[in-house]
Amino acid sequence: MSTFDPDPPAPAVGGNPADQLITIKRFLADRQPAGATGNLTGLLYDIALAGKLISSKTRRAGLTDMLGRSGVTNVQGEEQKSLDVYADQVIAGLLGKSGKVCALVSEEQPEVTVFEDGGPYVVTCDPLDGSSNIDANVSIGTIFGVFRRHDPDNGPTTEDWLRPGSDLVAAGYLLYSTSTMLVYSAGDGVHAFTLDPEAGEFLLTWSDLEFPEDPSYYSFNLAASAHWERGVERFVDWANRDDTPTMSQRYIGSAVSDFHRNLLHGGIFAYPGTDEEPAGKLRLLYEGAPLAYLAEQAGGRGSDSRESLLDLVPTDIHQRTPVFVGARGLVERLEAFVAGPDGD
Ligand code: P6P
């Protein structure tokens, strides 16, 4: 992982400090594989633009009418916040006009949005994940995944979006927190950019991020532990022992924030299934699979406690799944406890 000097970069001798600032546009262009059409690069840049617009609204939510509820309940049965609606509209509007996207799966829309004369990609997204935290000014995020459509000459069909995360060609998230970050992978490592609000540019902060070997956190909502399958409880018991890696329990209640902190400092995020909701709360297509893709690109793993989230084929665009994602060693240990003699 190449680190970003938090101090303003010293001017290269006789050089220009700007030479040390790598914008996302320049990074995407530098990393674009030979022979690429530039469509994926352009799509990622459009997503970065959506992130700037959403960031601007979230930063001022308390000063405008954006904090409140929209009065609309989405397909999940969750009451949409005004910022949810805004984020969904921005993403659909930008991607719909990009000429790069033929279909969009959004948490906020009951059905897939198909764009006429769309381009080669299908995007899945949670426009604003963690929105239940908005009123409390807790960090929230946008999660996205990108598939390449199967047949560019015929209208997109369900086979273009009801597919395993192993088909993803890119995935990432925006994190709206003390700063706004964009973290993505297009199959060549995980890279993180910080928005400079004055310049209006995402600047490279870390490239080729990997989960640290020594884990520091486990992110489970322990209040629900009585309802988990036994193996998950046994993992938490193991994590709390004195003779295992010393980890702190941190749970923000915003998957992007929990994932991001664990990516930087080492750890595992979990939203297990329960006896009442065996599939858990998070959705496979636009939460579990994109986070699992990023985890795998950073040397980690994403699982439903038995198999990789990237191997699951959804039958419905809003299908839920248990999610255990983060450092590979911790996820595999969790799976071993679940598979163990009295795992269930
Ligand atoms: P709970 C936010 O609403 C979210 O979808 C995820 O970002 C987060 O990890 C989870 O739900 C928190 O759910 O039930 O612990 O509040």
Tokens read off for 214: 């020594």
- pLDDT value of residue 10: 45
Q: Are residues 174 and 265 in the same domain?
A: no
**255: CA distance to ligand 1 center in Å?**
6
- pLDDT value of residue 13: 52
Range of the domain at 124: 23-206
Protein residue whose Cα sits closest to atom 4 of ligand 1: 130
Query: Which among 120, 167, 130, 102 is positioned nearest to 282, based on CA atoms?
Result: 130
**269: CA distance to ligand 1 center in Å?**
11
Strand partners, 122: 103, 147
Which DSSP helix (H) or strand (E) runs through 197?
none
Q: State which ligand 1 atom lies nearest to the alpha carbon of 221.
A: 15
Query: Which among 244, 257, 260 is positioned nearest to 333, based on CA atoms?
Result: 244
Contact 202, 182 (CB under 8 A): yes
CATH number at residue 312: 3.40.190.80
14 lies in a domain?
no
Q: Give the distance between the most distant pair of CA atoms in the chain.
A: 66
**319: CA distance to ligand 1 center in Å?**
16
pTM of the model: 0.92
Residue whose CB lies within 8 A of the most ligand 1 atoms, among 76, 107, 129, for a mutation test: 129
- Over the chain (344 residues), the average pLDDT of each successive run of 10 is 46 58 91 85 95 91 65 71 91 96 97 93 96 86 97 92 98 97 97 94 96 96 95 96 93 97 98 97 98 98 98 98 98 96 62
Q: How many other C-beta atoms can be found within 10 angstroms of the C-beta atom of residue 196?
A: 14
**38: CA distance to ligand 1 center in Å?**
35
73 lies in a domain?
yes
Q: Are residues 236 and 320 in the same domain?
A: yes
Ligand 1 environment, Cβ below 6 A? 129-130, 132, 221, 253-255, 271, 281-282
211 lies in a domain?
no
Q: Are residues 51 and 101 in the same domain?
A: yes
**316: CA distance to ligand 1 center in Å?**
20
Protein residue whose Cα sits closest to atom 15 of ligand 1: 253
CATH number at residue 112: 3.30.540.10
Q: How many other C-beta atoms can be found within 10 angstroms of the C-beta atom of residue 97?
A: 11
50 lies in a domain?
yes
285 lies in a domain?
yes
Q: Are residues 178 and 73 in the same domain?
A: yes
Q: Are residues 180 and 260 in the same domain?
A: no
228 lies in a domain?
yes
Residue whose CB lies within 8 A of the most ligand 1 atoms, among 176, 217, 251, 271, for a mutation test: 271
**253: CA distance to ligand 1 center in Å?**
5
- pLDDT value of residue 5: 43
pLDDT in tens, 85-120: 999 999 999 999 999 999 999 999 999 999 988 899
Q: Give me the number of domains the chain comprises.
A: 2
- pLDDT value of residue 136: 87
Question: Cα separation of 90 and 128, whole Å?
Answer: 11
Query: Which among 241, 229, 259 is positioned nearest to 325, based on CA atoms?
Result: 259
